[in-house]
Structure 1
Amino acid sequence: MAIITLTTDFGHKDHFVGAIKGTIYTELEDAKIVDISHSISPFNIQECAYILKNSYKAFPEGTIHIVGVDSEPSPENEHIAVLVDGHYFIIANNGVICLITSEIKPEKVVEINIPNPQFGSFPVLNVFVQVACHISRGGTLEVVGKPFDKLKDIKEFAPRITDGGNAIVGSVIYIDNYGNVVTNIQKSLFEAYRKGRRFELQARSKKINEIHYKYSDIINFNLEKNQRKGPGDLLALFNSAEYIELAIYKSDLNTVGGASTLLGLDYRDTITINFL
């Protein structure tokens, strides 16, 4: 039986997650349910897309992903089911899918149209779970919807190339548990415009001219310990998802703070890279 994953902004205080799981188990006694995250910032499309894009590939093909972020239906926020990269996504047409599939074309997209839908304020339970269980039983997308070709594309989240290719203006798309700041500038874009040039990354008043591949690269182990950079120092790196990330080495948001708090950076704040 296919795995069903859950990604929502519901948190854990309320009954929502428990009700979803209970309903799935009622329909599919042997269901395999995996929580990806229920701590997406409310209605944060970019954060949801970042987490899904960097987690879904770890699951086997045929996995069904229920996405409960900004899921209330409207004429401009249709319910859709998408088959892409061998995975099923049951989601609202709010831009998340286009951010996930920026480099992969969906194989099938349908607008969900199930019989006798229960319209209300909890569509993830009343609609998405029904579709997920249908697919898990071996059902096809054609049975639950009609072909759909109007996926919402959100251009505002893409980095901008300025100054004739001499600068990239990006923005903060995610802040992780350590306070590390993830930008929307991917390694491939950075290298395409860098062309071997020196650069200066500017975030607020801080300037960085080196990007590492792991956090400990900031330490020069050839120096005496009292001369090295280390805990508490700022660095930039290409993270495991190959996005440029700003971090404070061995930071802790509960004590000294992280890059987000120490630099004063929040979601959508600007990061600029100038090529010299």
Structure 2
Amino acid sequence: MAIITLTTDFGYKDHFVGAIKGTILSDLPEVHVVDISHAVSPFNIQECAYILKNAYRTFPTGTVHIIGVDSELSAENQHIAAQVDGHYFVGANNGVISLITSEIAPEKVMEINIPNLNTSSFPVLDVFVQAACHISRGGKLEVIGKPFNDLKELREFEPRITNNGKSIVGNVIYIDNYGNVITNIQKSLFEAYRSGRDFEISARTNTMKTIHDSYNGIINYNFDRSQRKGPGDALALFNSAGYVELAIYKSDLNTVGGASTLLGLNYRDTVTINFL
């Protein structure tokens, strides 16, 4: 069963998503086309990588993932296809694939070069769909490209160890639908430097001294309801993807607000963990 996924910043108002799906299905009527997200913030590489990195693993090996963010071809933004962890990724060399491969080395990376393509200002349709359909039919990467060894790496999105190992300085890399704020500090990095020490998380004027494993971890059910923490209270947790996340328990951006608004945190803002 061939599967092609789509992750883009196209939204749903315009014709782009429909045109991509229609072209894929015209070429491969039996393929399953799955939307991962079309609500990536425009040109937000880190947001795209976070969403795709935490979704692709749930698909069967052999799945082809089209990445439709910042896809315009240039001398510094080549079109590439990569085989990683048994999956295939088709997109531009803008940093998304290198963020996905930060923990798993790619098995193969090719610069796409398909002869006789009619290209326009819509490379996801003109190039990526053609490459994805070729791979989904069982075609080899070598047929559509040549070996490529210059994956763009985005070091700015890596957390930094400072103060002789006493601090981890990270950044906000994603804000979810609830307004929860995800940092680029992974649990594995936190545990590697903690060494049993107490700690304090600082984000703007906010501080937290506990990291939970679930959202309702802030609730002490031994207390009377009137004395418990609950909806509206801030917390830090290791989320399901293994990152440090700051949240407001049972938040709603449309009513009371979420961590992003109530804690005043935006994309790229600094979050620091100090070991005491």
| Distance in 2 of aligned mates of 1:103 and 1:259 | 28
| Structure 2 unmatched runs, 5+ | none
Specify the alignment match of 2:118 in structure 1. Answer: 118
Deviation at 1:119, TM superposition (A): 2.7
Q: For residues 1-276 of structure 1, what are the structure 2 equivalents within 5 Å?
A: 1-276=1-276
Amino acid at match of 1:252: D
TM norm structure 2? 0.99
| Distance in 1 of aligned mates of 2:38 and 2:160 | 31
SS at match of 2:20: helix
Deviation at 1:231, TM superposition (A): 0.3
Deviation at 1:29, TM superposition (A): 1.1
Percent identity over paired residues: 74
Deviation at 1:118, TM superposition (A): 2.3
SS at match of 1:35: strand
| Distance in 1 of aligned mates of 2:100 and 2:133 | 23
How many residue pairs were aligned?
Answer: 276
Amino acid at match of 2:171: S
Amino acid at match of 1:67: I
RMSD: 0.6
1:150-207: CA deviations, max 9, x gaps? 0001100000111011001100000000000000000000111111000000011111
Amino acid at match of 1:81: A
1:4-54: CA deviations, max 9, x gaps? 000000000000000000000110111200000000000000000000110
| Distance in 2 of aligned mates of 1:185 and 1:241 | 11
1:55-91: CA deviations, max 9, x gaps? 0000000000000000000000000000010000001
TM norm structure 1? 0.99
| Structure 1 unmatched runs, 5+ | none
Contact 2:231/2:249 (CA < 8 Å) preserved in 1?
Answer: yes
